């Protein structure tokens, strides 16, 4: 990777800044990093990548909520197992829609929601900010690369 230093500076500075912001606003920092990671893994640049990140992560939050809420209506854990299977299949099938095409993004949102015990008030803002964090890292990296002196070709 030719621009590793620029990537490292951008990621390091903005990760530290994100941790400070998350602390001040009582956001869950590690969930933000999940959103950020989704941005870089999903393959689209720019704001299109942010939209893909948000759509896939937030769809996963929805599916987790459906499993948790739906499972609470039944005494038997079998209902939760069945709902998990249905939601898992749905997260794969929804990838037919272009904005939901990054299947791991849905699973990331779903897992974050389960890890937070279904606490949507703390899961959603951090995931949303995380997508923006990834976008900001890509913008800062591009700026740092543009400042790099051009080498003369022989």
| Contact between residue 75 and residue 55 where contact means Cβ atoms under 8 Å apart | no
Long-range CB pairs of 115-120 (<8 Å, 24+ gap) are 116/28, 116/31, 118/64, 118/65, 118/68, 118/69, 120/61, 120/65
Could you tell me the pLDDT band of residue 153, with boundaries at 50, 70 and 90? low
pLDDT at 42: 96
What predicted TM-score, i.e. pTM, was given to this entire model? 0.91
pLDDT at 36: 98
pLDDT at 82: 96
Question: Which spans in the chain are helix H?
Answer: 4-24, 29-41, 46-71, 77-93, 103-115, 120-147
| Contact between residue 2 and residue 148 where contact means Cβ atoms under 8 Å apart | no
Q: Could you read off the pLDDT of 12-66 as tens digits, one per residue?
A: 999 999 999 999 999 999 999 999 999 999 999 999 999 999 999 999 999 999 9
pLDDT at 150: 78
Q: Could you read off the pLDDT of 89-147 as tens digits, one per residue?
A: 999 999 999 999 999 999 999 999 999 999 999 999 999 999 999 999 999 999 999 99
């Amino acid at each position: 990777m030719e621009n590793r230093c620029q990537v490292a500076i951008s990621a390091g500075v903005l990760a530290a800044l994100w941790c400070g912001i998350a602390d001040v606003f009582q956001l869950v920092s590690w969930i933000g990093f999940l959103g950020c990671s989704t941005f870089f893994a999903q393959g689209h640049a720019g704001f299109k990548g942010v939209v893909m990140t948000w759509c896939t992560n937030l769809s996963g939050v929805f599916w987790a909520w459906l499993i948790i809420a739906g499972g609470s209506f039944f005494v038997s854990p079998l209902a939760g197992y069945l709902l998990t299977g249905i939601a898992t299949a749905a997260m794969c099938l929804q990838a037919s829609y272009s904005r939901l095409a990054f299947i791991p993004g849905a699973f990331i949102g779903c897992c974050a929601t389960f890890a937070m015990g279904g606490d949507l008030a703390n899961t959603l803002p951090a995931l949303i900010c995380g997508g923006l964090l990834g976008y900001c890292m890509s913008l800062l990296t591009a700026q740092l690369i543009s400042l790099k002196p051009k080498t003369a070709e022989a």
